[in-house]
Amino acid sequence: MIQAAFPVMASKQEHRAHSCGEGRPTELEASMLVISASNVAMTKDKAQSLVVANRIGELYRTKGEKVEVLDLRDYRIEPCDMCQGCAGSGLCTKPDDFNRFLGQWRAQDRVVIVCPHYAGIPAKLVAIAEKLQELAYLGYCLGRQGKPGPAALIVAHGGMTEDYEALYEANLIKPLSGMLKGTGCTMVNEAVTGGPLCFGVKTYRKQPDEFGVCFAKDNDEEKVAAVLARLEGQPEEIWKRG
């Protein structure tokens, strides 16, 4: 496995927000980053990924964690074309928001990703993984040693009402875990007992929802509560970085 090979980060005073490839990435003081990976723009703060991400954030705040919740819809991420522009500075040279995301990612020891099931992994997450992988690989080629990535946990969900655990694990948790491992992350899912952490939908109604033409649905709040209870009951040791 190629360990993350990022250059030594500058001091916090040197970090500031940028929405393009120039400058330094933003660094937060939070110890945990909870990422909502929803792509659905029209749902705004009602997106189920974001709702559950906020609930996970509150759970870990009660445990004494400093938590930042990040909505990926606020970030424009272009696919990596392996231009090697990041080889020198360790920053992407494309005019998107990846460097802003990168500063938040690098600042954390722990990351939770609430990942919805679309056509497999959401495209923006794949683009982020591509860029993290390329940064790690180019650093490795240059003999540049950096710190390992965060301990990362994936919570998967989607629109199925039953028998979805194996599908979400196969289509989301396992492939995304493989991508992040290649950047030096420790995957916490491998230490969590009781099966994959995922939830679905309870029922559908034969009428459009408030956002468009898709059927309205009732979220499976019992399953969400069960996922939160499992997270709360996990020992601290699952977050140990390898």
What six digits make up the tokens of 160? 């199925």
What tens-digit pLDDT sequence spans the chain (242 residues)? 344 433 333 333 333 333 344 444 555 555 899 999 999 888 899 999 999 999 999 999 999 999 999 999 999 999 999 999 999 889 999 999 999 999 999 999 999 999 999 888 999 999 999 999 999 999 989 998 767 899 999 999 999 999 999 999 999 999 999 999 988 999 999 999 889 999 999 988 888 887 877 888 888 999 999 999 999 999 999 998 87
Distances (CA, A) of 161 to 24, 38, 137, 156, 207: 44, 19, 40, 14, 17
Residue 40 inside a domain? The answer is yes
Q: Establish if 41 belongs to a structural domain.
A: yes
Q: How many domains does the chain have?
A: 1
Tell me the residue range of the domain where 139 lies: 15-229
Indicate whether 1 belongs to any domain.
Answer: no
Residue 241: inside a domain, yes or no? no
Is 178 among the domain residues?
yes
Left (φ > 0), alpha (ψ -120 to 50) or beta: where does 22 sit? beta
In a domain, 6, yes or no: no
| CA–CA gap between residue 62 and residue 236 (Å, rounded) | 14
In a domain, 9, yes or no: no
Q: What pTM was estimated for this model as a whole?
A: 0.86
What CATH number has the domain bearing residue 99?
3.40.50.360
Question: Is 239 contained in some domain?
Answer: no
